[in-house]
Amino acid sequence: MTNTSLSVLTVAKMGCPSEERIIRLSLAGLASIRALSFDLLNRSLKIIHDGEVGPVYAKLEALGMDPSLIETGVADPKDLDTTGDSSGSDAQEAKSLH
């Protein structure tokens, strides 16, 4: 069984809703992501994921978003309830872009 983790990243080049959307669409293909929570004002991203954060970090770097990992730890069950979901329509939109 894979541990569910909560990772917090600073994303230096994320500051507007369109950049959030680009990130959501890029990460929609990663099955390990359970939820995303964006804070555009503070340029931070919380990710609840299974396994390592490396694939997420690599995608953000490939987008040129200048990510920095602040911390990674075991996700608390309450984190799963309070963080925005990254699945659903974003995954469908990402498929339509290919």
Domain that holds residue 42: 4-97
State the pLDDT at residue 75: 87
More confident: 65 or 94:
65
Number of domains in the chain: 1
**94 pLDDT higher than 80:** no
C-beta contacts of 86-95 below 8 A and 24+ residues apart: 86/24, 86/27, 86/28, 86/33, 86/34, 86/35, 86/36, 87/28, 90/24, 90/25, 90/28, 91/28, 91/29, 93/25, 93/28, 94/25, 94/26, 94/28, 94/29
The dihedral through the CA atoms of 93, 64, 53, 75 has a sign that is negative
State the pLDDT at residue 77: 67
**51 pLDDT higher than 60:** yes
Question: Is the whole-model pTM more than 0.85?
Answer: no
Instruction: State the pLDDT confidence band at 79, using cuts at 50, 70 and 90.
Output: low
Q: Residue 70 belongs to a domain with what CATH number?
A: 3.30.70.100
